[in-house]
Structure 1
Amino acid sequence: MKNEPSNHLSPKSLHVWRIYGAIQVAIAALLAAGGMVLTYFLKGEFWIYAVLAAVVLLLAYFVVYLFPKIRYSRWRYEVRDQEIEVQHGLFVMKRTLVPMVRVQHVDIEQGPILRLYNLASISISTAATDHSIPMLVTEEANELRQRISILARVIEDDL
């Protein structure tokens, strides 16, 4: 794509997405273990164990390794005087332009895992939708929130 937004997410975001993936795989592994126990008591076939184990291993590869790597390489954003451009996508690339004049408020979100890595996400609300820029260094997120707030106010005052 031409003229991609210039800013990348923090490199720490790759680690956080992998942690999120590991949590998902752990839940899937618990469900698979439950399926294996149920199969054992119902005198099921051995191949069911192999299928469940293979599904968990494939899920681990995709969700912990591959998808975070692709997601990190494709996420871009840029805040300009008149608009905010966000580009992201795993399989399908999505580019969004949010006009500053439409911005109603900007929030910062930070859960326990993001706090551990000193990261935060910005949520930009318009009348119709919400857009987010995830996994920014906390100081950068605070500065970006202030900048967007000032730019949205300046645009609004000019009208």
Structure 2
Amino acid sequence: MAKVDKKSITIWSLETLTPVLISELIAAICFYFFTEYSFISKLCILVFIGGFLYLMWDCLQNVLLYRWYEYRLNEDTLYIRKGGFSISETLIPFKRIQHIDIEQTFYSRLFNLYQVGIFTAGDTHSIGYLGKEEASELKDTLLDYLISIGVDIDE
């Protein structure tokens, strides 16, 4: 079983922090301009508290997600296991894969990590965050299998 990079916890937390900070900023501006309205003031205070609690909850969830986040390549299937408080296991037959891409988000670029997107007819799966070599190796392994079974690859 291969695991994702430990820096994934930081990336997931930063991805949560951004919208929380934006909502906190909007709530602070509303609180500043509408303090004479008690309803608006109370609502802004609830947004502050809710944003903080959500951020703490998500950081805990990210630590648990990393603990059980792993993937494995078998002879003709890809097994992905991830989850925090509830764990999901996905088994993807190689022959069902239609498209594979490697992408980098803003925050993953800071840590030089990549996310592998796997597209099947019915769903989209991702494995992230991996180092460049590991992500390229995973993509090449999947593409080599698809070529070996006769799928036309346009690259």
Tell me the TM-score normalized by structure 2.
Answer: 0.84
The alignment status of 1:117 with 2:123, answered yes or no, reads: no
- In structure 2, the partner of 1:70 is 64
- In structure 1, the partner of 2:144 is 150
How far, CA to CA, are the matches of 2:18 and 2:9 in structure 1? 14
1:89-135 CA-to-partner distances (Å, cap 9, x unmatched) read 23332111110111122111112221221111111112222211111
Which aligned pairs between 1:1-159 and structure 2 lie closer than 5 A? 6-37=1-32, 39-44=34-39, 50-63=45-58, 65-156=59-150
How far, CA to CA, are the matches of 2:115 and 2:29 in structure 1? 35
Farther off after superposition, 18-27 or 31-40:
31-40
Q: 1:81, 1:100 within 8 Å by CA — same for their partners in 2?
A: no
Farther off after superposition, 51-60 or 123-132:
51-60
Tell me the TM-score normalized by structure 1.
Answer: 0.82
How far, CA to CA, are the matches of 2:100 and 2:46 in structure 1? 46
3-state SS of paired residue (1:86): strand
Farther off after superposition, 8-17 or 146-155:
146-155
Higher relative contact order (CA 8 A, sep 6+): 1
1:46-102 CA-to-partner distances (Å, cap 9, x unmatched) read 755653432232122123x21211111121111122100111223332111110111
Q: Which runs of 5+ in 1 are unaligned?
A: 1-5
3-state SS of paired residue (2:102): strand
How far, CA to CA, are the matches of 2:88 and 2:150 in structure 1? 27
3-state SS of paired residue (2:128): strand
- In structure 2, the partner of 1:3 is none
Q: CA RMSD in A?
A: 2.2
What is the aligned length?
151
Same amino acid, percent of matched pairs: 27
How far, CA to CA, are the matches of 2:120 and 2:48 in structure 1? 45
